[in-house]
């Protein structure tokens, strides 16, 4: 994904780094498996670049991920208007609460699971799938920064068990990742057992963020977009709905035991 003026900045930085490394376009092209004319076309904006090319360029030019980082920033800033307020709230949050009735929350998805979920939309091209995947993975960086928010996620047992033979490997990796996140700290995962009764969360996903001043924001998504919620009465409703969802989930220890049982059931 390229967007002006960020693409122009990336091309300028690419040329600057190449010249600083005292590499001709031909020499640099050989190192990244391109011809000299292709490198010239990329630097002049006559040929598009992709993530793989920028990754190779960063490695060859010892640029510490600069080029790929610029692309990631462009991808985040290129998000639709309805999502930008929530991305800002997510990055600034001190606490996050996530529930989805049918999916693992995006902040806890593995790359393979996320790609499968995004690719389920037949309207998306392969390039768009990879662009959305990159953005989703980049958003997860908030969980590994020096001052991460506390993330509390509620997941349905049925979501964890949704694994036919072709999807079982992905789900095994996904559940293992959830357990690793919990073990690392800063993340709590509570599982709603399959025998739980109908509850308020079945009405749809709930995501909440608490800022540094203690204020709450909510986010609701649907098939065509999403909305960031900030009105006090609506936030009060979402917090009450969250408590309703959380109340039917298992405690932390029992949730971990259940996740391990799910994985073990696939190896029998």
Does position 231 have pLDDT exceeding 50, yes or no?
Answer: yes
Mean of pLDDT over the chain:
89
Whether the CB-CB separation of 216 and 233 falls below 8 Å is answered with: no
Question: CA nearest 99: which of 159, 162, 142?
Answer: 159
Between CA 258 and CA 264 the distance in angstroms is 10
Helix, strand and coil percent figures for the chain, each rounded to 5: 55, 15, 30
Between CA 250 and CA 169 the distance in angstroms is 25
Does position 82 have pLDDT exceeding 70, yes or no?
Answer: no
Listed in order, strand segments (DSSP E) in 174-244 are: 187-192, 206-210, 216-222, 225-229
pTM for this one?
Answer: 0.72
User: Could you give the domains of the chain?
Assistant: 6-76 (1.10.260.40), 81-265 (3.30.870)
* Candidate ranges 5-9, 67-71, 184-188; pick with highest mean pLDDT: 184-188
pLDDT tens for each residue of 197-216: 889 888 899 999 999 889 99
What percent of the chain is predicted at pLDDT more than 90? 58
Question: CA nearest 36: which of 23, 24, 25?
Answer: 25
What would the two tokens of residue 225 be? 């977009």
What percent of the chain is predicted at pLDDT more than 70? 94
Q: What is the DSSP letter of 34?
A: -
Between CA 189 and CA 259 the distance in angstroms is 10
Could you report how far apart the first and last alpha carbons of the chain are, in Å?
Answer: 43
What are phi and psi for residue 237, nearest 5 degrees? -65, -45
DSSP string, 88-111: HHHHH-SEEEEEESSS--GGG--H
Whether the CB-CB separation of 43 and 72 falls below 8 Å is answered with: no
CA distances from 71 to 74, 110, 129, 198 (A): 5, 21, 16, 43
Confidence class for position 69, pLDDT limits 50, 70, 90: confident
């Amino acid at each position: 994904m390229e967007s002006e003026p960020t693409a122009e900045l990336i091309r300028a930085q690419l040329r600057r780094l190449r010249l600083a490394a005292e590499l001709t376009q031909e020499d640099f092209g050989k190192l990244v498996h391109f011809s000299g004319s292709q490198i010239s076309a990329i630097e002049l904006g006559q040929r598009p670049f992709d993530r793989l090319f920028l990754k190779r360029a960063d490695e060859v030019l010892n640029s510490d991920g600069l080029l790929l980082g610029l692309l990631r920033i462009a991808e985040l800033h290129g998000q639709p208007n309805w999502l930008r307020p929530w991305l800002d709230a997510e990055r600034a949050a001190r606490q996050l609460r996530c529930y989805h009735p049918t999916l693992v929350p995006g902040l806890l998805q593995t790359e393979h699971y996320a790609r499968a979920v995004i690719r389920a939309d037949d309207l998306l091209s392969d390039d768009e799938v990879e662009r959305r995947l990159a953005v989703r993975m980049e958003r997860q960086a908030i969980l590994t920064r020096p001052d991460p928010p506390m993330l509390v996620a509620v997941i349905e047992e049925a979501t964890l068990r949704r694994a036919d033979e072709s999807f079982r490997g992905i789900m095994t990796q996904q559940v293992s990742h959830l357990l690793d996140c919990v073990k690392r700290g800063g993340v709590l995962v509570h599982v709603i057992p399959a025998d739980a009764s109908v509850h308020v969360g079945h009405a749809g996903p709930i995501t909440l963020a608490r800022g540094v001043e203690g204020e709450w924001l909510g986010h609701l998504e649907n098939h065509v977009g999403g909305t960031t919620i900030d009105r006090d009465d609506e936030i009060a409703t979402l917090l009450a709905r969250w408590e309703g969802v959380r109340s039917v989930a298992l405690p932390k220890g029992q949730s971990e035991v259940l996740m391990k049982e799910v994985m073990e059931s696939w190896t029998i």
